[in-house]
Structure 1
Amino acid sequence: MRAVVYSGPKQVAITDVAERPVGPGQVRLKVAFNGICGTDLHEYYAGPIFVPTEPHPLTGEALPVVLGHEFSGTVTEVGSEVTSLVVGDRVTVLPVYSCGECLACQGGRPNVCAKVGFHGLSTDGGMAETTVVDEGMAFKLPDSVSLELGALTEPMAVAYHAVKLGDPDPSGTALVFGAGPIGIGLWFALKGQGIDDVFVVEPSPVRRESIERLGAKTIDPTSVDIPAFIAEHTGGNGVTAAYDAAGVTASVQTALACLGAARTMVSVAIYEKPLETPLIQLVLREARIQGTLCYTADDYRAVIELMAAGHYDTTGWLETIAMDDLVTEGFEALHAGQKMKVLVDPSR
């Protein structure tokens, strides 16, 4: 089968690889769509970061790997011990591997397992014609949710989980930095969790216009003093939660300057460079910086339920490409800010 194989910085090849056998508790999927994640871009331009160079403790695998952890597909084969899925089921996949034994796993946080791994990073993933996953990783999609939308479950669950960690007040104001796919997901998640007063900070006119078409209120940081604006808008109380999906020093510093007392800035981005953090802002307001990593099964179920209810709108920010166009129309275009979100269709 054809697959996207990653070997190191700017080293990807679309080549034929052998299909993996299906174990007793596994299913084979014909991949419908696989999203290009910001993590994939970080791996391509600055990696390996999450892709192991030595055998991973859970998967036993290392470079090279087939990329792809945001995907949906149709079950084409089931293992002998599989009971919840049948051939023909349409699914999305929660791509996390956890040990089940460490304190995090025992505490219900397998997403921060001491040995956490990811399908498409720690082992061969979904940027291929088919892939094999454990039964428990596959979540059935309702009939009303398309496979295209189903492929967005993973990034939307990232955002949904982050919003919960920020604990925003439904009667207050929330602030999102960055209007890329995760920023859009944060806006959808905030609205889905009952937060109505949300502002999205984005310097790119193209991205501002895209999220404005969905109904979002935006701020251009190149022309607005954001802390002053937020102070006036909230009567000096500040925002009840802020989310950084931009991953740059300016967004973090501005977010902290906008936080209300004892409130949280959630860091959703991957930072390639060290940041200067003004800790005095945290001290004076007893504010917090909260990290977040992926999601839980409950987040997946919540996002799928919102999708089934028609909550997510992909108009104007989603594009599908062929696997052969991955580098030019995918990685390079996204890295240059020319596109918002790109799905790879392995059948094209």
Structure 2
Amino acid sequence: MRAAIFRNGEIVVDRIAEPKPGPGQVLVRTLACGICGSDLHARQHAHRMVEMSKFLPGRTPMDLSRDVVFGHEFCCEVLDYGPNTTRKLKPGTKVCSLPALLTPQGIEGIGYSNDNVGGYAEAMLLSEALLLEVPNGLAPEHAALTEPLAVGVHAVAMANIQGGEVPLVIGCGPVGLAVIAALKIRGLGPIVAADYSPARRQLAEKMGADVVVDPARTLPYATWAEHAQMSEAEKAARPPFRAMLPALKPAIIFECVGIPGLLQQVFEGAPRDARIIVVGVCMEADRSEPMLGIMKELSVQYVLGYTPEEFASSLRLIAEGQVDAAAMVTAEVGIDGVAKAFADLANPEMHTKILVEPWR
């Protein structure tokens, strides 16, 4: 079968053996698979990913001398079953799954593995126990957005929202847009979102942002403060010491960019007592000033992935029309177009989310 392969630091197209389902596994045909920002970072910083994996016991790092097939945001079609399966879903059923395989050795990831083929291939293996049938006749290209939406849902869940916070989302790529959608569902607002790209600011509004900011023209934190002013009743209810501080509602800041220097910018701009949720995956060494965090009593929460329940909930949100995740999709390509798509995604005015459809 054909696949777009990460080989020697580049994305190349070649043929590989079609996988055979083992016990508890299902052979599926890949219908649509999103190109994730983490895939773009992984291509550039794969050695860093391997280096960091030594701090994660039980995780097998990629062997960069061998082929890897990326792709962990997918919707597939059931083709065949391996032994020890219930075969509950008939062939042809559209399914999504967490990008993981359940094996006797434990949970193994899909997408950054030498052994488990990801969604940039014509076929792949999934664990039957993790399959979710795509509901409501949802199109595969929309169901494939379950995974990135789940990242935003999880980030908001981990933010420990108490009520009354005013959120600020830094970066309106797919992750930031997913966070905005999840905040909107929770009824939190006004949602302030910042991005240099006019196209992405427009998408942010479509996904639920109440206020959008161009950081080249306006400091996001100043705009946030304008929309976080306490009411007179809230001011009066503050204890005496707190009354000496700026009369601002609690801040919850989502860092959804993942490049060096960004977290330090957040430390500098954040108001006192802000909660910072780091969603963007920075794969390079970075620095921040602890003194700023101490003086402002900032709380920093790093997040990754999602729970199985959040993943299933995200699929339902898309299928029921509560989240217009399809608005993020700006192009579809076949396997031959993956390398160019990686380059095109560097321009935020050109693309936000490109889907790989291996059958093209």
Out of 263, 271, 274, the residue aligned to residue 252 of structure 1 is 263
The code of the aligned residue for 2:36 comes to C
Out of 333, 339, 342, the residue aligned to residue 344 of structure 2 is 333
Greater shift in the superposed pair: 141-150 or 210-219: 210-219
Out of 82, 90, 94, the residue aligned to residue 94 of structure 2 is 90
TM-score (norm 2): 0.83
Query: Does residue 122 of structure 2 align to residue 118 of structure 1?
Result: no
Displacement over 6 Å in runs of 4+: 51-56, 58-61, 98-101
Q: Say what the alpha-carbon RMSD is for the aligned residues.
A: 2.8
Equivalent residue number for residue 196 of structure 1: 189
Equivalent residue number for residue 112 of structure 1: none
Deviations 1:196-216 (A, max 9, x none): 321111011222123234442
Equivalent residue number for residue 7 of structure 1: 7
Aligned partner of residue 188 in structure 1, secondary structure: helix
Out of 208, 211, 216, the residue aligned to residue 222 of structure 1 is 216
Query: Does residue 156 of structure 2 align to residue 167 of structure 1?
Result: no
Aligned CA distance change for structure 1 residues 36 and 316 (closer, same or farther; 3 Å)? closer
Out of 296, 301, 308, the residue aligned to residue 307 of structure 2 is 296
Q: Note if contact 1:262-1:286 (Cα within 8 Å) is conserved in structure 2.
A: yes
Q: Note if contact 1:241-1:263 (Cα within 8 Å) is conserved in structure 2.
A: yes
Aligned CA distance change for structure 1 residues 279 and 60 (closer, same or farther; 3 Å)? closer
Number of equivalenced pairs = 333
The code of the aligned residue for 1:70 comes to E
Out of 302, 315, 322, the residue aligned to residue 327 of structure 2 is 315
Deviations 1:183-242 (A, max 9, x none): 111111111222232111101122212323444221111111232332332124254311
Structure 1 gap ranges (5+): 102-114
Equivalent residue number for residue 75 of structure 2: 72
The code of the aligned residue for 1:96 comes to A
CA drift at 1:243: 0.8
Greater shift in the superposed pair: 227-236 or 173-182: 227-236
Equivalent residue number for residue 46 of structure 2: 47
Aligned CA distance change for structure 1 residues 315 and 257 (closer, same or farther; 3 Å)? same
Aligned CA distance change for structure 1 residues 130 and 307 (closer, same or farther; 3 Å)? same
Structure number with larger C-alpha Rg: 2
Q: Note if contact 1:68-1:119 (Cα within 8 Å) is conserved in structure 2.
A: yes
Greater shift in the superposed pair: 332-341 or 245-254: 245-254
Equivalent residue number for residue 324 of structure 1: 336
Distance 2:103 2:251 in 1: 35
Distance 2:270 2:249 in 1: 5
Structure 2 gap ranges (5+): 230-246
Q: Note if contact 2:42-2:49 (Cα within 8 Å) is conserved in structure 1.
A: yes
Distance 2:153 2:53 in 1: 32
Q: Note if contact 1:227-1:258 (Cα within 8 Å) is conserved in structure 2.
A: yes
Aligned CA distance change for structure 1 residues 305 and 260 (closer, same or farther; 3 Å)? farther
Equivalent residue number for residue 232 of structure 1: 226
Q: Note if contact 2:184-2:208 (Cα within 8 Å) is conserved in structure 1.
A: no
Equivalent residue number for residue 104 of structure 1: none
Equivalent residue number for residue 236 of structure 2: none
Q: Note if contact 1:85-1:135 (Cα within 8 Å) is conserved in structure 2.
A: no
CA drift at 1:300: 0.5
Aligned partner of residue 345 in structure 2, secondary structure: helix
Distance 2:306 2:171 in 1: 20
Distance 2:253 2:100 in 1: 26
CA drift at 1:131: 0.5
Deviations 1:116-148 (A, max 9, x none): 742011232121111011112322211242211
Distance 1:100 1:18 in 2: 23
Greater shift in the superposed pair: 123-132 or 84-93: 84-93
Equivalent residue number for residue 107 of structure 1: none
Greater shift in the superposed pair: 62-71 or 33-42: 62-71
Distance 2:296 2:181 in 1: 28
Quote the sequence identity (%). 29
Aligned CA distance change for structure 1 residues 53 and 202 (closer, same or farther; 3 Å)? closer
Distance 2:131 2:108 in 1: 16
Aligned partner of residue 47 in structure 1, secondary structure: helix
The code of the aligned residue for 2:117 comes to D
- Please show how residues 111-150 of structure 1 align to structure 2 within 5 Å: 117-122=108-113, 123-150=116-143
CA drift at 1:286: 2.5
Distance 2:264 2:68 in 1: 36
Aligned CA distance change for structure 1 residues 57 and 166 (closer, same or farther; 3 Å)? closer
The code of the aligned residue for 2:112 comes to L
Deviations 1:76-113 (A, max 9, x none): 11223222433222111201357899xxxxxxxxxxxx
Aligned partner of residue 129 in structure 2, secondary structure: helix
Aligned CA distance change for structure 1 residues 28 and 100 (closer, same or farther; 3 Å)? closer
Aligned CA distance change for structure 1 residues 77 and 52 (closer, same or farther; 3 Å)? farther
Equivalent residue number for residue 238 of structure 2: none
Distance 1:174 1:298 in 2: 24
Equivalent residue number for residue 241 of structure 2: none
